Amino acid sequence: MTARVLVVDDILSNVKLLDAKLTAEYFEVETASSGAEALDKIAANEPDIVLLDVMMPGMDGFEVCRRIKANPATAHIPVVMVTALDQSSDRVAGLGAGADDFLTKPVDDEALLARVRSLVRLKMLTDELRMREATGKSMGLLDPAETLSEERPTGQILLIEDRPESAAWMSAALTPDNQLLSVETFEEALVRVREGNFDLIIVSLGLRGFDGLRLCSQLRSLPEGRNIPILVLVSAGDRRKLNQALEMGVNDYLARPLDKNELIARVRTQLRKKRYADRLRQNVHLSVEMALTDQLTGLHNRRYMTRHLAALLASAAGSGKHLAFLIIDVDHFKSVNDSFGHDVGDEVLREFASRISDNVRGIDLACRFGGEEFVVVMPDTEVTHAWAVAERLRKSVEATPFAVSRAPGTLNITISIGIAGSEGPTDTAEALLRRADQALYRAKRDGRNRVVADAA
């Protein structure tokens, strides 16, 4: 794995040492000798990870980290404090400033590289989501995900620990701010993850009844557990287990003996990241949905219909079944907008979309084609049956006035509908749409408020 690493330290020998270690592992290394220089370089060329000393003149590492995490453009970049400070209070301060980890000098080479690879790998997953989200933002479809600045995030935590005294201690430390469920067995852990909606899983790697690493692997293989951060508890000095855990995708770790404040700080960091990742995924899903859905009516849009009509027509031809295509126009809709305003016009269109949905089947594809035009694609349907459905819809629109929020309170609306049916293997989506449009033209020419089929 290669990545861009920014090493920040005011002592040249320290910088050269880390540069040599990382370059030997094929990382691309950039350096900075002060906090201000580091922030400038991050803004100019975003690194994949920052290795940051704490004790620097002018602006210390804690302040640099806080500024990185407070900036929405850089908050997702992992920061590892690499420092001679070795007290628990120092680690808690670093984590509180937003650091992803805190390594004490002299740093074990294997531990450093394992942590860098792990954090870079996790960042790449976030980068992919951010890239997809950016597409939605560029289209004006959605707001960006919030930064990683929530101070006291809370969530539902699953603790897997078979030592009752340890489980009780962690439960006391993490509640009542969080909801915590503690289990002791491999099987119950898997069942709970499948059933639950957890924001964090804490796994003791010192479990007596089964292999904690194997459990982590199983949790990562579950669809329900794939996106839940995992924090492992490891015995001090057990580098082998820790490195294996990081390699398989564990998000964070805590060495025994456990420190309450550090536990809380690391849990909050993971909950904060989970919130951010969930929002990114939600935005990605929303951008896809919005790209294919008409936002006013909730029906599929023209783009969706265009992409699917040819496939539906080919399926009908292949099976020897019929397909009917309806194009519907709200009569004199311009006068509604001119007389009552576009907001009332929008109310009419929303209500009409609802009536279309009420009159078609689940397998039918209802879309807003544009403006006041709508289409319905009806698989496995002959024109005669489609005509009956269209006539039922036309009568229901004519018979029941549309409620609107402005005087006179209701409006009488009528619609015109053109219908065309598929004509065998050589038929095309463009030809089908053209025939339906011609039928609609005849319906409007002949006085509107009527249904006309292409064969008529």
User: Once rounded to an integer, what is the mean pLDDT over residues 286-300?
Assistant: 82
Structure tokens at 361: 């089947």
List pLDDT tens digits, range 12-37. 999 999 999 999 999 999 999 999 99
pLDDT at 132: 67
* Residue 280 pLDDT exceeds 80: yes
- Measured CA to CA, the distance from residue 33 to residue 10 in angstroms comes to 4
Per-domain residue ranges for the chain? 1-107, 145-286, 302-453
372 labelled catalytic: yes
**List of residues 6+ apart from 289 with CB closer than 8 A:** none
Mean pLDDT in the chain? Answer: 90
Q: State the alpha helices, DSSP H only, in 196-259.
A: 212-221, 239-247
Express as a percent the part of the chain with pLDDT over 90: 71
DSSP classification of residue 298:
-
* Residue 209 pLDDT exceeds 90: no
* Residue 456 pLDDT exceeds 50: no
List pLDDT tens digits, range 96-135. 999 999 988 888 888 899 999 999 998 988 887 777 666 5
How far does Cα 40 stand from its chain's mean position? 30
Helix, strand or coil for residue 23?
Answer: helix
Residue 280: name the closest of 50, 118, 95, 122 by CA: 122
List pLDDT tens digits, range 220-250. 999 999 999 999 999 988 889 999 999 888 9
Angstrom CA distances, 206 to 74, 202, 221, 233, stand at 36, 12, 21, 8
- Measured CA to CA, the distance from residue 228 to residue 235 in angstroms comes to 23
List pLDDT tens digits, range 383-394. 999 999 999 999
* Residue 140 pLDDT exceeds 70: no
Catalytic option among 165, 372, 391, 398: 372
- Measured CA to CA, the distance from residue 16 to residue 147 in angstroms comes to 33
Of 240-244, 329-333, 409-413, the range with the lowest mean pLDDT is: 240-244
List pLDDT tens digits, range 155-166. 999 999 999 999
Domains 1-107 and 302-453 equal at CATH topology level: no
User: Once rounded to an integer, what is the mean pLDDT over residues 329-333?
Assistant: 96
The topology (CATH level 3) of 1-107 is Rossmann fold (3.40.50)
What architecture does CATH give domain 302-453?
2-Layer Sandwich (3.30)
The topology (CATH level 3) of 145-286 is Rossmann fold (3.40.50)
* Residue 147 pLDDT exceeds 70: no
How many residues does the structure list for the chain?
456
pLDDT at 433: 93
pLDDT at 170: 96
